[in-house]
Structure 1
Amino acid sequence: MKRLLALGSLLALPAAAEEGMWTYDAFPREAVKAAHGFEPSQDWLDRVRLSSVRLAGGCSASFVSPEGLVMTNHHCIRSCVEDLSSPKRDYLATGFFAREPKDELRCPKVEANQLVEMTDVTARLQGVTKGLEGAAFNTALNAEMSRIEGECATGPEWRCDVVTLFHGGRYQLYKYRRFQDVRLVFAPEFSMAAFGGDADNFNFPRYGFDAAFLRVWDTKGQPLKTDTYLPWAKEGAKEGDLVFVSGHPGGTERQSSVAELEFQRDVALPYTLLHLSEMRGMLREYAAGSPERWRTTRAKLRSVENSLKALRGRHQALAEPSLLAGKRQAEADLRAKVIATPALKATTADAWDATARALESYRPLLASYRLKEVGDGFSSELFTLARQLVRAAEELPKPNAQRLREYTEGQLPGLRQQLLREAPITPELEERLLTFGFNKLRETLGADDAFVHEVLGREAPEDLARALVKGTRLFELKERKRLFEGGAAAIAASKDPMILLARRVDGLSREVRTRYEDTVESVLRKNGELLAKARLAAYGTTGYPDATFTLRLSYGAVKGWREDTKTVAPLTTFAGAYARHTGKEPFRLPDSWLKAKGKVPGDTPLDVATTNDIIGGNSGSPLVDREGRVVGLIFDGNLQSLGGRYAYVPETNRAVGVHGEGLLRALEHIYGAGRLVKELREHQR
């Protein structure tokens, strides 16, 4: 294995104590030692890194036994539980536990990735883009990324991604070991994983049991043998203890320009908040129609509500004048340093204005881009499958470097899994989602828009949606496989109405995508790279890059905070959960907990708050102590952490997790998961 390469110094200002989502090859070991008297060794870092897992759908996880056992959140694998359920066997309602290895059920959509190697490829990528701008810059960059990933991914067992760090100031090739046989071992009831519902979401005190266990199986059909895993701690974390979070934060914008933040505040976030609000209303009305509608909709509704609350928190943070005032001052300071340095002034002085101009041109384009290409106008799994099949037929015959990024050789194993998975699709919900999307297209773009005409013709949205769902055969795995393997000829000959729609609108969708990539994305990429280099030249201080759903390590402590006139303690207990029970949703404890009342001592910790710097994507991350042992499982943050996308406030930002001691005791005494508890205790330290 290659020794991990140092990222170097690219952040404008030093991080505050405990701030930072650090890459493993630039972790501030000396800062941790100065603050907490502990310096992680390289062996410690390597073991925790290799024990960490990325779930390709957007969450984190970790190996917690040498038998391939993986710990994550229930909400991270909720779609798996839903896929494995049926009207007669509702695992979201009842929970699931595999009492024997043969009972572990494969999750059709789940892929797990283990980061095994990082290689710096900055010089290679900056070399091919030197002197280029606009479409030429983007084309050269994407093509070289595809070449690098293709050279790395020598088989389906590997996933290789070129990741952008420091907004283009640094590029690295991340090589992952790919696991696609991932099976469900344990999941609690949906009501307990999400106890408190939307009312308690992003709040603390908290009493949720948002935990689940999977197992990776090898290609020979046996549980994976692994030497790198996180043992369970014999003693749980206490207030003041040093703790680490190893996971995959999805995205931050702490190094974004003021123009980018203002665009989020004024354009992007308001658009998305309105879209999600209307989606939530539609789903609530639909789910109330019958118990079966509720069964097939509750997971999606919970996801929409979670996104809505998180984005509302971000918008409120950007609307706070002091946040942008600080950002403007920092930007003005950097601009002054750039202008005072002739070499920097020549290359970078216009970077801020160029970024602002690109975003100004994006304002009238955003809704069209999101509706036509991103998918807001086609909120349907069936249409997504149809588009993937249509584009695969066109893209796969091309040279790898000329394909759309999601169809390159390195992405093919994941694409195959998405297209050829055995997972149920609910026809009635598909009709409702398509109707919603078609109505949004017509409302937003106008009845006279050419794209709207291509989609609807003379049909009413609900009539077209009904005809598409009733007429398509894409529910059938056999048919999807035939179309995928048949390529362009099979797609051209297909009379499937969903395929015909995807073909009909694909040219116009690609057109708006190209416009966005050539006039907006390329400008942001190019100037982001220039500004990252300017920060390095101006400040030369070490720091961490914005989150990019790549593996990061943060450090912090179990700690509460002051809120107005009260102190919020960092630990909640089982007794507190029973006291919060009202008998009605969302504060109704499931029967398993009510029947087991008293089996777990009331003062046992249930949930925990820490100062670790996290963001969405860290869900499912292990909380480990200085010995690298599991002491908890991250599943959320508090309300104050929602502004963490833009800045970390150590006084109030808190990560929230299930406490390790409470997790183990609930498994044993409430769920009777003896086989699972035995496996975890065998390796307890």
Structure 2
Amino acid sequence: MNRKNILLAAILLPAVMAFAQQYGGMWIPTELNEKEMKDLGMKISAKQIFDPSKPSIKDAVVQFNGGCTAEIISPQGLLLTNHHCGYGQIQKHSSVEHDYLSDGFWAKDMNGELPNPGVTVDFIADIKEVTGSVLAGTQNLDSKAAEALIAKNLETVKAGFKLEPWQKVIIKPVYYGNKYYAYIIETYKDIRLVGAPPSSIGKFGSDTDNWVWPRHTGDFSMFRIYADKNNKPADYSKDNIPYKPKYFLPVSIKDKQENDFTFVFGFPGRTTEYLPAIAVEKVMTETDPAMIAVREVALKTLNEKMRTDAETRIKYASKYAGVANYWKKWIGEVEGLKKSDAVGKKKKYEQTLIAKNPQIKPTIDQLNNLYNEQSPYSLNRSYYSEVTRNAETLSLANQYINFMQSYEAGKMTDQTLTGFKNRLASFYKDYDAELDAKVTAQLLALYAEKTPAKFLPANFAQFKEVNKNSATIENWSKNSVITGRGTFNSATASANIDKVFANPAELIKNLKNDPIIQLASSMKDSYMKTTEGKYAELQDQIDVLQKKFMAQQMETDKDRKFFPDANSTLRVAYGQVKGSNPRDAVYYGYQTHLEGVMEKYVPGDYEFDVPKKLVNIYNTKDYGMYKDKTGDVPVNFTATNHTTGGNSGSPALDAHGNLIGLNFDRQWEGTMSDINFDPRFSRNIMVDTKYILFIVDKYADAKWLLNEMKIVK
């Protein structure tokens, strides 16, 4: 048997697999489910993961630029995160002449590392539960009075922390406001790009493979944290030195086996595991399909030009990836919610709770009524927000509308005006007015078709025909004050913006006569009058009941160990290395290899090209210590860790706390895990550390970086 058949035979899993994990879980690191972690194979203690009094693994894990996760892998502050997390920085350093997106970038030494103004990393120094202090005195108050007292208590609690000058504290609710935790944060502000593979490695498979297994993507990039001479946070300076961490992660290149314990440590963004069945049903049948439809139209239009024009590809690369990411995620989410019978399971669980505690029935009944009443407003909110976000011309118009309102209300200071002009200059740098006129024309037609007339401006039905829209919007765009054709191109934007804003009163007069501004204003006015207020009013009522429902679940179900929903704070998820059986007669192994990269290779393709050097390495089999027992280099692997957005770049660690992978995605069939984690289908996808080091060593010839690391063989 060849290697692929051996692997296939090894993963002929039964249709119903047994899982030791009862639930998923994104656990606060001070409250880990240590017993289950050890039952699954963990060899270290919870204290070794998080200890505020001495170095622990948490000192090597940071939130990267407010959205992703990264980890320190050397005593000189070398930082590892995803390629897609560093993509914006790689793009900013790129040009047609120096196309680091296409060619990759590798500093030859520390002097060649590139600064990234505005990029930050956050360390969590400590976590404290402060529920008692925050909720003090609120027990017998109505929701509005309680909310006001909580806001006052939060300020008092924050003021009570003794902080160093470089520290800050944030307090976040969990369990829908039934508990509160304070996080002591240290922010470092001098972060430099060290290395990134070309997109043909770091983004291999691009949109086709996004959220899909099997994957073969080297989704990693490297940065470095710099500090002042005292190892404290400092703004960028050539005199800064590499940060000396309290702890850094050893990098393991040991082979992986099915059922090996693993855990992921990072900053997951948002989950909603405890919603009632009615809420999940609305997501599955209404709001997700609406958002999918809008983004599908925008992506198709952008893609047609990006594939044929290199300048557009570079200009729109980061934006396109951002739009496509959640478009595809929502598609998988809908499929997974249906396949896992999420609504059915929720309804059954609610009946179980009611049988134990009849007081829960009125709560669920009220939630059902509120969600049904909110449904049309929620659907319009989804369409409106997605249309005005993905039609950049409308998004731009709304920025100018906000400027006009602020200026005429006397709230536009010199500082806010400067900030607004800077944002415009950044926007115009990556904006193609002619291309976006096509996108806007398509999305207006979709909005006109899908939205009841009561939510739309008068005469909006005129936008139902795409061809007519195309001519109209293109004409408006050519003559618009805001689209900036020939005025705000990337080379002259900043200087010309200053000229345009030199006479704000004249500018506002012209803006009010601009048909694009008038269109965006009419859409916004209709949305605000018909939808926003009613949606928010109902959501406030839902939030109060959801808090009550959460408390009732925790009080009633004593057999279940609850974990809080993700909220962009530091969390630990754990599981085991596993393949999957997502549908009848389909079995996936847990590991992919370099051979799979070459099987997908399409020379010159936008998504599946492979650099010639990597092809040569494959042909000569120059794998060194990075091959596994099959003789090939492992690329990606899957496990049952419960992850979500924000976990991108999170370290995947083994039973001993060694780095074994870099989290970057989830398997298509399990993206519903934000709402309904199901161990049968939910898999996170990671870049194998063997592949990361293989690319750094054999492809990039950056051995000086390997010399910094502690490599576990």
Query: Above 0.5 in TM-score?
Result: yes
Q: Hey, what does 1:643 align to over in structure 2?
A: 672
Out of 208, 225, 247, which is 1:228 matched to?
247
Distance in 2 (alpha carbons) for counterparts of 1:394 and 1:516: 27
Distance in 2 (alpha carbons) for counterparts of 1:421 and 1:544: 44
Q: Hey, what does 1:408 align to over in structure 2?
A: none
Deviations 1:483-540 (A, max 9, x none): 9xx9xx9988974978995996888877778625741332232112111211222123
Q: How far apart are residue 142 of structure 1 and its match?
A: 6.1
Change (3 A) 1:40 1:193: same
Q: Does 1:51 align with 2:72?
A: no
The secondary structure found in structure 2 opposite 1:226 is: coil
Which stretch shifts more, 434-443 or 388-397? 388-397
Change (3 A) 1:39 1:57: closer
Out of 343, 367, 372, which is 1:360 matched to?
372
Q: Hey, what does 2:328 align to over in structure 1?
A: 309
Letter in 2 for 1:117: D
Q: Is the 8 A contact 1:640 1:653 kept in 2?
A: yes
Larger Cα-atom Rg: 2
Out of 286, 291, 295, which is 2:310 matched to?
291
Alignment of 1:37-436 (within 5 A): 38-46=43-51, 47-108=56-117, 110-127=119-136, 130=139, 157-158=166-167, 160-218=169-227, 219=234, 221=237, 222=240, 223-233=242-252, 235-288=254-307, 290-320=309-339, 322-339=341-358, 345=359, 349-370=361-382, 376-377=388-389, 379-380=391-392, 382=396, 425-428=429-432, 431-432=436-437
Q: Does 1:27 align with 2:32?
A: yes
Distance in 2 (alpha carbons) for counterparts of 1:481 and 1:61: 37
The secondary structure found in structure 1 opposite 2:212 is: coil
Q: How far apart are residue 256 of structure 1 and its match?
A: 0.8
Change (3 A) 1:470 1:18: same
Q: How far apart are residue 395 of structure 1 and its match?
A: 12
Deviations 1:164-194 (A, max 9, x none): 3222222223332223332221111112222
Distance in 1 (alpha carbons) for counterparts of 2:190 and 2:37: 37
Distance in 1 (alpha carbons) for counterparts of 2:640 and 2:38: 17
Out of 562, 569, 584, which is 1:550 matched to?
569
Distance in 1 (alpha carbons) for counterparts of 2:120 and 2:534: 30
Distance in 1 (alpha carbons) for counterparts of 2:165 and 2:488: 28
The secondary structure found in structure 2 opposite 1:350 is: helix
Letter in 2 for 1:360: N
Q: How far apart are residue 226 of structure 1 and its match?
A: 1.7
Letter in 2 for 1:207: H
Which stretch shifts more, 194-203 or 552-561? 194-203
Q: Is the 8 A contact 2:44 2:657 kept in 1?
A: no
The secondary structure found in structure 2 opposite 1:614 is: coil
Change (3 A) 1:393 1:546: farther
Alignment of 1:431-510 (within 5 A): 431-432=436-437, 460-466=472-478, 467=480, 468-470=482-484, 495=508
Q: Hey, what does 2:612 align to over in structure 1?
A: 591
Letter in 2 for 1:351: T
CA RMSD in angstroms, aligned pairs only: 4.3
Q: How far apart are residue 594 of structure 1 and its match?
A: 1.7
Q: Hey, what does 1:402 align to over in structure 2?
A: none
Change (3 A) 1:451 1:551: farther
Q: How far apart are residue 298 of structure 1 and its match?
A: 3.2
Q: Is the 8 A contact 1:474 1:480 kept in 2?
A: no
Which stretch shifts more, 116-125 or 244-253? 116-125
The secondary structure found in structure 2 opposite 1:70 is: strand
Q: How far apart are residue 384 of structure 1 and its match?
A: 7.4
Q: Is the 8 A contact 2:315 2:431 kept in 1?
A: no
Deviations 1:517-568 (A, max 9, x none): 7413322321121112112221234321222232211222222234544643
The secondary structure found in structure 1 opposite 2:305 is: helix
Q: Does 1:666 align with 2:686?
A: no
Q: How far apart are residue 224 of structure 1 and its match?
A: 2.4
Consecutive unaligned residues of structure 1, counting only runs of 5 or more, are 1-13, 340-344, 399-411
The secondary structure found in structure 2 opposite 1:603 is: coil
Q: Hey, what does 2:13 align to over in structure 1?
A: none
Identity %: 21
Q: How far apart are residue 68 of structure 1 and its match?
A: 2.2
Distance in 2 (alpha carbons) for counterparts of 1:369 and 1:298: 27
Letter in 2 for 1:356: N
Out of 551, 572, 576, which is 2:592 matched to?
572
Letter in 2 for 1:653: S
Q: Is the 8 A contact 2:666 2:684 kept in 1?
A: yes
The secondary structure found in structure 1 opposite 2:636 is: strand
Change (3 A) 1:295 1:473: closer
Distance in 2 (alpha carbons) for counterparts of 1:383 and 1:498: 9
Q: Is the 8 A contact 1:108 1:422 kept in 2?
A: no
Change (3 A) 1:465 1:164: farther
Out of 507, 511, 515, which is 2:533 matched to?
515
Out of 538, 562, 566, which is 2:556 matched to?
538
Consecutive unaligned residues of structure 2, counting only runs of 5 or more, are 1-18, 228-233, 464-468
Letter in 2 for 1:526: V
Q: Is the 8 A contact 2:270 2:644 kept in 1?
A: yes
Out of 614, 632, 639, which is 2:661 matched to?
632
The secondary structure found in structure 2 opposite 1:636 is: strand
Distance in 2 (alpha carbons) for counterparts of 1:538 and 1:29: 23
The secondary structure found in structure 1 opposite 2:388 is: coil
The secondary structure found in structure 2 opposite 1:555 is: strand
Distance in 2 (alpha carbons) for counterparts of 1:160 and 1:521: 28
Letter in 1 for 2:608: F
Q: How far apart are residue 582 of structure 1 and its match?
A: 3.6
Distance in 1 (alpha carbons) for counterparts of 2:408 and 2:655: 51
Change (3 A) 1:313 1:606: same
Letter in 2 for 1:283: L
Letter in 1 for 2:614: W
Q: Is the 8 A contact 1:368 1:512 kept in 2?
A: no
Distance in 1 (alpha carbons) for counterparts of 2:421 and 2:166: 13
Q: How far apart are residue 436 of structure 1 and its match?
A: 6.1
The secondary structure found in structure 1 opposite 2:540 is: helix
The secondary structure found in structure 1 opposite 2:243 is: coil
